[in-house]
């Protein structure tokens, strides 16, 4: 039993205060204090609206406004004493406001509930994260464009099944990620448009009998409009799930790129050198330079996708409208947002700093019979063979090179003619990797000229 007195905010009907365990499971202040600025912005908009509609006197509204600014500066300055007994950020702020301005503080909650308040605060917080994600993606795309432009004509192997497939260009590979992060950017932007409706004024769930102006508060908080259904407004967390969904897909892209950097920076590949600024050493093996940043980026998807699944599970099966379950929405989103922003920034830094090893890339591009398709295409184009036959002839020549322990360009013309007598020495032109990539001029292909067109297209898009 506790001899604590009941809660001053809602304890009218309670004879006793909560058990310590009840307080511990109930309180969200340990994490929702991250929404302090949003909470105070929401309260300021609400108070200004209450005055404009004549629900509050201008004197009270002014006292509230001043008091909220003081509370904000106390929180920002670190002197604010957060209290678990006051449960959450909403009641911590209001309680402190009461200490500072007295009676008018109690009028702030007119026509409002913590249900629309928390939905508003959280939406404002998530909206800021969409904006931060947009900035992070743009910076990362710029870094990739820099690499693509510098290396538009550097040859490297292109892979399928992680087996050498055809030569491609470094710029083309970088631009593949520009497309991926570009889609993330578009997902961020359309999710932000969809979520930008204000829950404030939905009150507990049914709206309010006070003559509030929801359009006014929506506008003051940068929302496009008030949400149209009060029940939905307090029980909707789609915006957080949209955020986690977009973050999950983007983290998946980041993890794929991170994995390539881990492979590429190994002694076996030596495709790239990561900078010292984004690598670490080993405490026992002096030669080591480890791609830890890439590995951690590769791993962040686990937490982000976990948050996505976690919040889905919290929300599934909840009856309308607000249930306390929904307090479990925030920590996962906070953690996922932090992880995503950090992963994007680390990737941007690595991409800016990394150096492609052009020589290794070129040597590797020519290995593994990477121009076999070019040879088959030549047989079709010059000798008029059906592609299936050309495929077979080329396969025979690959087998011959493999037996001899050499690459396709190392076969002699006699070797070639022994398989198909009409092959001429011109065939050797298409067996070079540079010619191979130059020839892939189809739209979106790997030819340096095509890569430069795509770099320019993205520069125009981002202007």
Nearer to ligand ARG, 92 or 370 (CB): 92
Q: Does 315 bind ligand ARG (CB under 6 A)?
A: no
Task: Record the tokens describing residue 31, joined without a space.
Answer: 């994490």
In the complex, the smallest distance separating the C-beta of residue 323 from ligand ARG, rounded to whole angstroms, is 9
3-state secondary structure of 273: strand
- Catalytic residue chosen out of the listed positions 73, 186, 266, 282: 282
- CA atoms of 249 and 241, how far apart (whole Å): 12
Asked about 282 being catalytic, the answer comes back as yes
Cβ-based nearer residue to ligand ARG, 237 or 440: 237
Residue 283 annotated as catalytic? no
DSSP state of 6: P
Interface residue with ligand ARG among 198, 327, 357, 454 (CB under 6 A) is 327
The answer to whether 147 contacts ligand ARG (rule: CB under 6 A) is no
Q: How far is the CB of 307 from ligand ARG (least distance, A)?
A: 16
What's the start-to-end Cα distance of the chain, in Å? 65
Contact map string, positions 7 to 36, toward ligand ARG, x by CB under 6 A: ---------------------x---x----
CA distance 30 to 131: 25
Query: Interacting stretch for ligand ARG, rule CB under 6 A, among 59-67, 221-229, 243-251, 323-331?
Result: 323-331
d(CA 95, CA 272): 57
Each residue 76-115 as x (binds ligand ARG by CB under 6 A) or -, in order, gives ------------x-------------------------xx
CB 443 within 8 A of CB 163: no
Identify the active-site residue in 79, 161, 425, 442.
161
| By CB under 6 A, residue 236 contacts ligand ARG | no
CB 398 within 8 A of CB 408: yes
For Cα atoms 237, 233, 336, give the angle at the middle one, nearest 5 degrees: 20
User: How remote is the C-alpha of 260 from its chain's centroid?
Assistant: 18
For residue 459 the two structure tokens come to 């520069």
- In the bound state with ligand ARG, the residue whose beta carbon lies nearer, of 32 and 260, is 32
> 166 pairs with which residues across the strands?
158
For residue 7, the 8-state DSSP code is P
Q: Which residues are catalytic?
A: 161, 282
Chain residues binding ligand ARG by CB under 6 A are 28, 32, 88, 114-115, 118, 322, 324, 326-327
């Amino acid at each position: 039993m506790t001899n604590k007195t009941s809660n001053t905010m809602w304890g009218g009907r309670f004879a006793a205060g909560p058990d310590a365990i009840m307080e511990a499971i109930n309180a969200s202040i340990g994490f929702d204090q991250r929404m302090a600025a949003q909470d105070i912005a929401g309260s300021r908009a609400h108070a200004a609206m209450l005055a404009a509609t004549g629900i509050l006197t201008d004197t009270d509204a002014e006292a509230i406004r001043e008091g909220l600014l003081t509370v904000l500066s106390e929180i920002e300055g670190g002197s604010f004493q957060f209290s678990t007994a006051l449960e959450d950020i909403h009641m911590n702020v209001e309680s402190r406001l009461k200490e500072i301005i007295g009676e008018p503080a109690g009028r702030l909650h007119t026509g409002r509930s913590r249900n629309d308040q928390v939905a508003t605060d959280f939406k404002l917080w998530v909206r800021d994260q969409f904006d931060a994600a947009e900035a992070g993606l743009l910076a990362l795309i710029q870094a990739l464009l820099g690499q693509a432009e510098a290396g538009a004509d550097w040859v490297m192997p292109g892979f399928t099944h992680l087996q050498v497939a055809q030569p491609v260009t470094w710029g083309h590979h970088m631009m593949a990620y520009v497309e991926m992060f570009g889609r993330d950017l578009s997902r961020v932007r359309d999710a932000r448009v969809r979520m930008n409706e204000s829950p404030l004024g939905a009150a507990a769930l049914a709206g309010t009998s006070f003559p509030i102006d929801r359009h006014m508060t929506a506008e003051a908080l940068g929302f496009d409009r008030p949400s149209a259904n009060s029940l939905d407004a307090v029980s909707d967390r789609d915006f957080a799930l949209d955020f986690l969904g977009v973050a999950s897909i983007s983290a998946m892209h980041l993890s794929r790129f991170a994995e390539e950097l881990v492979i590429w920076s190994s002694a076996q590949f030596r495709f790239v050198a990561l900078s010292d600024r984004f690598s670490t050493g080993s405490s026992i093996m002096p030669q080591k330079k480890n791609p830890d940043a890439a590995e951690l980026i590769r791993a962040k998807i686990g937490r982000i996708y976990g948050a996505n699944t976690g919040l889905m599970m919290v929300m599934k099966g909840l009856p309308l409208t607000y249930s306390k379950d929904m307090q479990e929405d925030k920590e996962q989103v906070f953690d996922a947002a932090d992880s995503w922003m950090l992963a994007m920034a680390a990737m941007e830094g690595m991409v800016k700093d990394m150096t492609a090893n052009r020589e290794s890339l070129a040597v590797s591009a020519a290995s593994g019979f990477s121009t076999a398709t070019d040879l088959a295409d030549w047989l079709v184009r010059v000798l008029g063979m059906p592609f299936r036959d050309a495929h077979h002839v080329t396969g025979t020549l690959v087998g011959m090179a493999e037996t001899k322990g050499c690459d396709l360009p190392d076969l002699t013309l006699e070797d070639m003619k022994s398989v198909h007598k009409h092959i001429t020495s011109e065939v050797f032109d298409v067996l070079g990797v540079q010619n191979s990539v130059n020839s892939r001029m189809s739209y979106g292909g790997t030819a340096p000229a095509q890569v430069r067109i795509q770099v320019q297209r993205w520069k125009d898009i981002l202007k």
